[in-house]
Structure 1
Amino acid sequence: MASVIIRFGLLANILSVFQVTHALTLNVSTTGGNASSPILYGLLFEDVYHSGDGGLYAELVQNRAFQGTTINLDSNNHVEGPFQNLDYWHSSGPEVTLTLDNQQPSLSDALPYHMRVDVASGSGSDNNNTGFWNEGFWGMNITTATRYAANFYLRGDYEGDIVCAFWSNTTNSMLGNTTFTGISQTDSDGWKLYQQTFTPFASGPDEKNTFHLTFDGTAVAGSNLRFNMISVFQQTWKNGNNGLRMDLAEAMNDIGGKYLRMPGGNNLEGQSSPYRWKWNETIGSIIDRPGFPGTWGYYNTNGLGLLEMMQWCIDMGLETILGVWGGYYLDHEVVAEADLQPYIDDVLNELEFLLGPENSTYGSLRASLGYPDPFTIKYVEIGNEDFFDSSNSYINYRFSMFSDAIKAAYPDMIIISSIWSGYFTDPVLPNGTVQDLHDYFSASDMVSKFNGYDNADRNYPVLVGEYAAIYDDEHTNPNQLDNPTLQSATSEAVYILGLERNSDLVVGFSHGALIKSLHDEPDNVAMMKHSPTEIVLSMSYYVAKLFATNYGSQTVPVTADTGYGPLYWSVMKNESETYFVKIVNYDGVDSTPVMVNIPGKSNEAKLITLTAPDMYSSNLPGNTTSIWTETTNKKLRGGKIVGARNDW
């Protein structure tokens, strides 16, 4: 089983790349075909299984502002508070007590709680043992290769130094520290921000590292200090402010995607009222972001907010597909038609914030936050997976009310529906409305969808906002995969070929699981999984990268002397007449050649193959078994056979 891309320059004659049951000849036309979507290959992001907080968002401290961590639901799946707590914080020394407190003045309206650190009377002056420490998100990545920025807000009567340090739990030794000197303040001074950047003098041997903050115990004995927004950022990708974890961002950029669908997903909708993703609570200073109880079992800081995601799009050259809340919560609560207008107004305010001139109400707010020029957004999706709304409110009024208001303000905006047009009877989707479909299948079902869009209504373009092969075919379904295998990833490759062949209809597609934490969700497929010190790039990641980095601007007709299976194929070309012949071998055997003919072209090509030892091979922490080979400027002559190993 393997995925293969044959990339032809100004061209090629005859090439054999596979082991299959029957000989196959592909005759590639040099004329005809359809223009392909320029954003065909994309990315989906929502904060799911610590893909944002504790993942792509480069903050190392967990529960940095005591907003809370675990989310509880009642018997009706409604979110239960309160949320604030001191999870992941620990005192240093027997004479130190940590207490969650809301004594005024608060740091901000968004962050009413803080941590009070009491030191018993008669406490000693051991700076290394008077204070507190944080576990991080299952540890921290501490290395001498990057800088770190430590920040905290302090309120209290204190004169002296405060030391921030990283420690290894494995070696019980300090890895690096920075000292805040000359601190002098009283309670009447209120909250003060302290921030410094430093580089550790030693790297942690593993991820079992913690962050400690210590002070002069004798100066505080019998009293207390109050702390809030205790933050440590590892150096970010492109040195972005409040930005992205470097290794995850780099791996994501390497995929070669052309759009970012954000901010999700189920996390956009929210579990229950009033807890949903609210754009205006994700902008500005991080002390003004209250966060909200996310839909995946933990509290979201919204540190990775709307502007951070827009900067992400800029830095990676991605088109933005903006999801807006459509009046529906995951517990099936729906906003009534008579009550919907304020939420429509909120979407229009968000769009003005992103697209409005600098002198508009919300455009000026954007400018005050460092973005005087409007962004460019062509696509807005209303809601997410609204086919779960059994009341049919999306069909009856929600979609049209949001869509009409957006189009009135932005006539050229491309509107995306979160349900397929086949659900609509009266009213119908306006022609040209993009419909977002989510395809989660077993490996064999994924392959069966190869021609699923061949006869789709061309009046309704398709965004496959989420796809993934999540079940194997060896066991009785449902048997969800822990990680993508060669079998499941190759089935996704077959599916993608079908989307490429219909890329005049398909606007774009993105894998349904971009990033997940190895600690939070180890038993669930994802393109990338991470720990504090490691990322695992799955078979699905390499398939997506292989396809996204080898694409053309139009489809190319192909005729063959046999039908599809076990080989599947598609051909694209770009403006410079480079042809991309993509072939997937799904469950193939034997060793009979495949011939590719492109009339009138030269005998030179680049061959790329992706394979693995067997159908159940899977990339795991510390063990990458996928095999990606590239052969540049392959000289071909009529009848020459180039073999590609196939193991099943």
Structure 2
Amino acid sequence: MNKITVTTNKKASMSDFYGIFFEDINHAADGGLYGEMIRNRAFEFSPMDNPSYQALTAWKRIEEGGASVSSFVSNKSPFSKRNPNYLILEINKTGTRAGIKNLGYNSGIAVEENESYNFSCYAKSDKPCEITVSIDNAYGEVITEKSLNITSNEWTEYSFTLTSPVDDFSAVLAVTSKQECKFCLDFVSLFPVKTYKNRKNGMRNDIAEMLADLKPKFMRFPGGCLIHDGTLNSDDRNSMYRWKNTIGAVTDRPSRRNNWRYNQSLGLGYFEYFQFCEDIGAKPLPVLPAGYNPHMEQAVPLDEMQEWIDDALDLIEFANGTADTKWGKIRCDMGHAEPFNLEYLAIGNEEVGQGFWDRYDLFHKAIKEKYPQIKIINSAGPFPQGGEFERGWNNAKKNGSDLVDEHYYTSPEWMLANCHRYDNMPSDGPKVFLGEYASWGNTYYNALIEAAYMTGLENNAHAIGLVCYAPLLCNVDYINWQPDMIWFDNHRVYGSANYYVQKMFMNCTGNNLLDVKHDGFDKPITLGSNKISGNIEIEADRCSAEFYDIKITDITTDNVKTYDNLSFNNGGKAVIDSIDSNHYKVEFTAKRTAGDKGFRLFFGKSDDKNLIQWFIGGWQNQDTEVNAQVNGRGSCLDHNIFSVMTGQEYKLCLEVNGRNITTYINGKTANTAIDKQPVMEELYYTASSDDNNIYIKAVNVRDTEITSEICVEGVNGINANVTELSGNSLDDINDFDNPKKVSPKTSALTAVSNTFEYTFPPKSVTIFTIQK
């Protein structure tokens, strides 16, 4: 029998180890965490946000029983100059019912029996006008209503509370009048009275509670690619995410294009973010753009960077400054006299290109000079290794960055192969901030393998400072990206299998990593082949291209085969051959004749879901990348910057030796990668402690149960709670019909001595919370 001994030796601090990452993707803010129930409340939707949008998106005229209504959007006499659009509604003929209604998100506006909702709007009319505001069901029947009189030709705010006598999840908000009249509306709003912590302009309670239940130590915000994927002018609708646009009155926050192709009201801005962090006990971790956009390849000149550096310094002052400072006073005037105690600040997100790090240097110097206590986070790009990854780490070491933000989305098999990724990383120098990671999927299998990988993260707390899964939230009817931790619609929310693993780990992590000794474990099982064999294919990727001088050399046998030239118009792919060898080369010359991307070479291909591919001019024609797919789930093995030029010849070479991969472009090394084989250890485990408890985590990814003897030093007997996730099929998922199909169960465990035996079920995640 194997034995695990948890010692009292503290190895590393874990005080802020696990947190959450909020990005406004998948309608995570508007139509999600942000409590506003009206979609397009200020009539500011635009085709720039999404080609299908226009200023009256989500609004529909009510013309019943012969009624006639005119509705159009104007900006001639706005309430807010920063959101100039407003609705002009004219009731030409009243008929049975005349007006306009808002359709809300998903199936409509969701109201609950005996719950109340705060309505507000700004309105004006040249002549007195009585209107009725109601919540209607899908058939146009009134659920609840109140009337108001518009008596001024100046913009005036009106507000009251509506209470619903029934549950209805497909309702609309209607504004009608029984008289022929003409009036203007803007900022039409409906909020639940019961927002999280009853905050004004607050968060949707059920989603917020799901986040609070995780007990995160920090919250990263607001992105993600949306922070830097925009123009350099803060007044542009499609600008980078500029925090100063997100504070103050919500009516003065300029509606903007979200880079995930929808509208962003900024109602959930930096003040609400800081307030929410305080409400859930998480430290804020904001991310700011560096005046550099790798998506559009735009950059602020280095001698014009002061505005952007001031943004960073002013944000710190807004969060932490006293009332006698400019930005501290603004925070106080917004209703929060005490500081938000900001400790962390990240510059950039998934950055590639020297232009970013030239600008990061300026931020780092200025912030450390004025606020030396702030922990600054650098960027290591969007992939787990490669040239830009190394450049980010080298820059962090040069500047003395406190942490470096790593991101990767991978197959579960990559995680099994890389559980010891950080074992040999030094404890001095910048620490890892794993700011975005996940395996591709929301199944029990994904969650199980992520749990195994997380034990490796915890065991390397000497080198890793902060960790958060991504993305966090997804509205089921507005999906930009998946997998996601939490799924919701307009009235329901559930946690994925991954959510419950994250919750288990986050709720049961101490302040210090403990040393764990082990004895008697079986050798790990290595899965798969020690060579990369299969089909070889060439593709013209979103371009027209010619391929010639194609040959494959089996270096093991010295066999050389040549192949006919290939030519493709507007894309195309061809199988070249298949090879079963431990060591081989694929060589060819490629030339793009038209198009905007480059080439792909597939190798080790057994089917369309299991292969390795080399992108030459990938993504936005900016990459040379080696990517391995297992069951359709990709993992980047190596990445560097490279662009293909039309009309230029490229001599391309791939060499595979065992599972080592090297690519060459015009004789120069482009990528160096190892496609590691997945490894299944007998048991994955880690331990930590705080003042009250010792936490032991164990993950069994094998098909058989494993019995272990567990010894906990420093305690007299065992009094513990056991939280366990087990008994599910690997492809099980949670959904609205079965929201807790994959979720843990808790039981008690006691023992007279400090040693006990435990049998870990097959495919299980187990956490012991042992009282000291």
Q: Is residue 8 of structure 2 the alignment partner of residue 39 of structure 1?
A: no
Q: Is residue 90 of structure 2 the alignment partner of residue 118 of structure 1?
A: yes
What whole-Å deviation, never above 9, does each CA across 1:200-228 have from its counterpart, x for those lacking one? Answer: 11111xx322111112333x1xxx21111
Q: Is residue 271 of structure 2 the alignment partner of residue 310 of structure 1?
A: no
In structure 1, the residue matched to 2:438 is: 468
In structure 1, the residue matched to 2:130 is: 161
The 1:438/1:555 distance shift into structure 2, 3 A limit, reads same
Amino acid paired to 1:278: R
The 1:71/1:490 distance shift into structure 2, 3 A limit, reads farther
Amino acid paired to 1:621: F
Deviation at 1:125, TM superposition (A): 6.3
In structure 2, the residue matched to 1:99 is: 72
The answer (yes or no) to whether the contact 1:356–1:362 under 8 Å persists in 2 is: yes
Deviation at 1:326, TM superposition (A): 0.9
Deviation at 1:490, TM superposition (A): 1.2
The 1:591/1:544 distance shift into structure 2, 3 A limit, reads closer
Structure 2: 5+ residue stretches without partners? 234-238, 382-388, 525-680, 765-772
Q: Is residue 24 of structure 2 the alignment partner of residue 60 of structure 1?
A: no
The answer (yes or no) to whether the contact 1:63–1:69 under 8 Å persists in 2 is: no
In structure 2, the residue matched to 1:226 is: 184
Amino acid paired to 2:248: G
Structure 1: 5+ residue stretches without partners? 1-22, 74-79, 471-480
What SS does the aligned partner of 1:91 have? strand
In structure 2, the residue matched to 1:383 is: 348
Cα distance in structure 2, aligned partners of 1:83 and 1:418? 34
Deviation at 1:160, TM superposition (A): 4.7
Alignment counterpart, residue 538 of structure 1, candidates 492, 496, 504: 496
What whole-Å deviation, never above 9, does each CA across 1:430-465 have from its counterpart, x for those lacking one? Answer: 335210111211011122222111111321111111
In structure 2, the residue matched to 1:9 is: none
In structure 2, the residue matched to 1:133 is: 101
In structure 2, the residue matched to 1:239 is: 198
Amino acid paired to 1:535: V
Cα distance in structure 2, aligned partners of 1:41 and 1:427? 22
Q: Is residue 467 of structure 2 the alignment partner of residue 509 of structure 1?
A: yes
In structure 2, the residue matched to 1:202 is: 166
Deviation at 1:566, TM superposition (A): 3.9
Amino acid paired to 2:296: D
Deviation at 1:646, TM superposition (A): 2.9
Q: Is residue 657 of structure 2 the alignment partner of residue 573 of structure 1?
A: no
Alignment counterpart, residue 493 of structure 1, candidates 451, 457, 460: 451
Amino acid paired to 2:310: D
What SS does the aligned partner of 1:130 have? strand
Cα distance in structure 2, aligned partners of 1:253 and 1:246? 10
Cα distance in structure 2, aligned partners of 1:47 and 1:70? 19
In structure 2, the residue matched to 1:433 is: 402
Q: Is residue 68 of structure 2 the alignment partner of residue 108 of structure 1?
A: no
What SS does the aligned partner of 2:111 have? coil
Cα distance in structure 2, aligned partners of 1:502 and 1:25? 21
**Aligned residue pairs, count:** 584
The answer (yes or no) to whether the contact 2:232–2:300 under 8 Å persists in 1 is: no
What SS does the aligned partner of 2:414 have? helix
In structure 1, the residue matched to 2:533 is: none
What whole-Å deviation, never above 9, does each CA across 1:272-300 have from its counterpart, x for those lacking one? Answer: 44412111111111111112101111110
Deviation at 1:172, TM superposition (A): 4.8
The answer (yes or no) to whether the contact 1:270–1:294 under 8 Å persists in 2 is: no
CA RMSD of aligned residues (A): 2.3
Bigger Rg, structure 1 or 2: 2
In structure 2, the residue matched to 1:526 is: 484
What whole-Å deviation, never above 9, does each CA across 1:546-572 have from its counterpart, x for those lacking one? Answer: 011111121122222225614211111
Deviation at 1:61, TM superposition (A): 0.6
The answer (yes or no) to whether the contact 1:618–1:625 under 8 Å persists in 2 is: yes
Cα distance in structure 2, aligned partners of 1:640 and 1:469? 34
Q: Is residue 261 of structure 2 the alignment partner of residue 297 of structure 1?
A: yes
Amino acid paired to 2:430: Y
In structure 2, the residue matched to 1:3 is: none
What whole-Å deviation, never above 9, does each CA across 1:518-574 have from its counterpart, x for those lacking one? Answer: 001187211101100111210111001001111112112222222561421111122
Cα distance in structure 1, aligned partners of 2:343 and 2:150? 52
Cα distance in structure 2, aligned partners of 1:72 and 1:606? 50
Alignment counterpart, residue 308 of structure 2, candidates 330, 340, 343: 343
Cα distance in structure 2, aligned partners of 1:598 and 1:192? 67
Amino acid paired to 2:390: G
Q: Is residue 59 of structure 2 the alignment partner of residue 89 of structure 1?
A: yes
In structure 2, the residue matched to 1:211 is: 173
Amino acid paired to 1:261: R
The 1:230/1:428 distance shift into structure 2, 3 A limit, reads same
Alignment of 1:354-393 (within 5 A): 354-387=319-352, 390=353, 392-393=354-355
What SS does the aligned partner of 2:292 have? coil
Deviation at 1:176, TM superposition (A): 2.1
Alignment of 1:322-337 (within 5 A): 322-329=286-293, 330-337=295-302
Normalised by the length of structure 2, the TM-score is 0.72
Amino acid paired to 2:697: K
What whole-Å deviation, never above 9, does each CA across 1:219-246 have from its counterpart, x for those lacking one? Answer: x1xxx21111011112311110101000
What SS does the aligned partner of 2:42 have? coil
Moved over 6 A (4+): 636-640
The answer (yes or no) to whether the contact 1:268–1:323 under 8 Å persists in 2 is: yes
Alignment of 1:250-261 (within 5 A): 250-261=209-220
What whole-Å deviation, never above 9, does each CA across 1:338-382 have from its counterpart, x for those lacking one? Answer: 222221122222222222221122222222222233321111101
In structure 2, the residue matched to 1:394 is: 356
Q: Is residue 566 of structure 2 the alignment partner of residue 598 of structure 1?
A: no
The structure, 1 or 2, with the larger RCO (C-alpha pairs under 8 Å, 6+ apart) is: 1
Cα distance in structure 1, aligned partners of 2:16 and 2:122? 43
The answer (yes or no) to whether the contact 1:416–1:435 under 8 Å persists in 2 is: yes
Deviation at 1:27, TM superposition (A): 2.0
In structure 2, the residue matched to 1:584 is: 699
Amino acid paired to 1:309: Y
Of 37-46 and 633-642, the range deviating more from structure 2? 633-642
Of 635-644 and 363-372, the range deviating more from structure 2? 635-644
Higher strand share: 2
Amino acid paired to 1:44: F
Cα distance in structure 2, aligned partners of 1:358 and 1:238? 25
The answer (yes or no) to whether the contact 1:486–1:611 under 8 Å persists in 2 is: no
Deviation at 1:413, TM superposition (A): 1.1
Alignment counterpart, residue 286 of structure 1, candidates 247, 250, 255: 250
Q: Is residue 120 of structure 2 the alignment partner of residue 143 of structure 1?
A: no
Normalised by the length of structure 1, the TM-score is 0.86
What SS does the aligned partner of 1:284 have? coil
Deviation at 1:174, TM superposition (A): 2.6
The 1:248/1:70 distance shift into structure 2, 3 A limit, reads farther
Q: Is residue 173 of structure 2 the alignment partner of residue 173 of structure 1?
A: no
The 1:158/1:200 distance shift into structure 2, 3 A limit, reads farther
Of 133-142 and 301-310, the range deviating more from structure 2? 133-142
Deviation at 1:178, TM superposition (A): 2.6
Q: Percent identity?
A: 25
Deviation at 1:322, TM superposition (A): 1.6
What whole-Å deviation, never above 9, does each CA across 1:161-212 have from its counterpart, x for those lacking one? Answer: 322212221x6533222332xx25243xx111100112111111xx322111
Deviation at 1:612, TM superposition (A): 4.4
The answer (yes or no) to whether the contact 1:323–1:380 under 8 Å persists in 2 is: yes
Q: Is residue 607 of structure 2 the alignment partner of residue 646 of structure 1?
A: no
In structure 1, the residue matched to 2:578 is: none
What SS does the aligned partner of 2:70 have? strand
In structure 1, the residue matched to 2:560 is: none
The answer (yes or no) to whether the contact 2:278–2:340 under 8 Å persists in 1 is: no
